[in-house]
Amino acid sequence: MHLHSQQYTASDLLAMDKDTVWHHMTQHATQTVPMMVRGEGSYVWDIHGNQYLDASSGGVWCVNVGYGRESIAEAIKEQLVNLNYFAGTAATPVAAQFAAKLLELMPGMGKVYFSNSGSEANEKAYKIVRQIAAKKYGGKKHKILYRERDYHGTTITCLSSTGQEERRSQYGPFTPGFVEFPHCCEYRSQFGDVENYGELAAKAFEDVILQEGPDTVGAVVIEPITAGGGVITPPEGYLPAVEAICRKYDILLHVDEVVCGLGRTGAWFGYQHYGIKPDIVTMAKGVASAYAAISCTVVTEEVFNFFAEEPLERESFFRDISTYGGCTAGPAAALENLNIIEQENLVENAAHMGEYLRAQLEVLKARFPLIGDVRGKGLFLGLELVEDPVTKQPVNENVVMQVVVLCAKHGVLIGRTNRSFRLYNNTLCLSPMLTLTRDEADSIILALDRAFTELAL
């Protein structure tokens, strides 16, 4: 049977999907999911022909350069007919070229390790940290600290390092050796209304290191700006203080750029806003704007050199492989994706349009008390919704969903914080394509304005 959508009606395909596909993060038996069929630029169309301005970059912050990029499709095609695959134990010209170009954008970093998803990139980082602990510290310095409200992926070990209790629930027992430290959301300050929140939040991180014993802590993993946990921008001085604490106790600093990477925040990488120098950087989503599955674990030469000792015995090299880390479609797409971001000045556009969008969101905040806080950087913005701006009581998640549904009704797709994160799942996420124009930004604001107005009626 030749499956081609034109042979089927929309209702045939929707019924086929309902019968056969188990959707992500959704109780598909009782909820209806949209079926998307085409994308171009910032727009996407569903099977009923409805057009949406996608201010979520594919739902989860992925399609940085927009839909329908023929040059990426052509680069992938050319690569695939030439050589689609050889295991990552061998070299390919396209992977070498992409790695070299990527490292130019990341001064201080030294080597790129390829895999397929954000979770996998983080797992590689954790294995690197564990192996360094084994080689250098007799296994003692093996603990990895992670922050409350951060998310690092879907596997059991990535969930073991995720600070969202609701998301972990029912999936334990977890991997040992992962320890949580307090979040840094100033709007939800644990220390009351203070001037030096960043300093206090960093001190809370140091306290956990001291409690655990610095000689047992090998690394810390953080999102530069927390994504699914509520679009949390770090407070003033926080990240440099965290970096200084890492250096003080010889702890590796692992920055998870799976969402922030590749221009999303108005810099090539989120950490670059804060003048810090990580030891490990992981990235996925925007690496190839989701035209192919590719993720990277990027390390400094110092980290790589732990694995380059002579003699090259079993214990000395990084004994890790991901079959599809050798696919060439990923680096081919990623290389062209980087070219587009560079040639079209999309990092600058994200910074510039991000400021514009943010200013408009502040105007909405002044008009609608439901908006408690506007956060984010570049084209990675969040609106935390509250019952009352004084008590900051989070709205019920149904209210968040209502805004999302109303915006879709007005032709704009926006995202929201993790549905299973019951405590603070009250944040709307805006992450349009980095190509965003002023007209598109105005359409997003208009849809939000109409949604909030209708909600208030």
Which position has the token pair 């910032």? 42
Report the residue from 58, 66, 153, 278 that binds ligand PMP according to the rule CB under 6 A.
Answer: 153
CA 71 to chain centre: 25
Binding piece for ligand PMP, criterion CB under 6 A, among 138-146, 172-180, 256-264, 380-388: 256-264
Number of residues that bind ligand PMP (CB under 6 A): 16
Contact 382, 430 (CB under 8 A): yes
- Measured N-to-C along each axis, helices 197-212 and 238-248 cross at an angle, to the nearest 10 degrees, of 20
The side-by-side arrangement of strands in the sheet containing 51-54 is: 36-40, 43-46, 51-54, 412-413
Nearer to ligand PMP, 200 or 292 (CB): 292
The residues, any chain, with a CB within 8 Å of residue 116's CB and separated by 6 or more, are 293, 294, 295, 322, 324, 325, 327, 330
Report the residue from 106, 259, 276, 357 that binds ligand PMP according to the rule CB under 6 A.
Answer: 259
Report the residue from 66, 182, 224, 228 that binds ligand PMP according to the rule CB under 6 A.
Answer: 228
Report the residue from 152, 273, 377, 410 that binds ligand PMP according to the rule CB under 6 A.
Answer: 152
Position 151 contacts ligand PMP (CB under 6 A): yes
Q: Compute the least distance from the CB of residue 120 to ligand PMP, in Å.
A: 7
Contact 245, 202 (CB under 8 A): yes
User: Considering only residues 170-189, where is the footprint of ligand PMP by CB under 6 A?
Assistant: none
Position 67 contacts ligand PMP (CB under 6 A): no
CA–CA separation, 180 vs 168, rounded Å? 13
The residues, any chain, with a CB within 8 Å of residue 399's CB and separated by 6 or more, are 370, 385, 426, 455
Position 63 contacts ligand PMP (CB under 6 A): no
CA–CA separation, 173 vs 150, rounded Å? 19
Q: Compute the least distance from the CB of residue 62 to ligand PMP, in Å.
A: 9
Binding piece for ligand PMP, criterion CB under 6 A, among 87-95, 116-124, 349-357, 380-388: 116-124
Nearer to ligand PMP, 288 or 386 (CB): 288
Binding piece for ligand PMP, criterion CB under 6 A, among 82-90, 111-119, 307-315, 345-353: 111-119
> Computed from CA positions of residues 328, 43, 339, 431, in that sequence, does the dihedral angle turn out positive or negative?
negative
Report the residue number whose CB is nearest to ligand PMP. Answer: 118
Return residues touching ligand PMP (CB under 6 A).
60, 117-119, 122, 151-154, 223, 227-228, 256, 258-259, 284
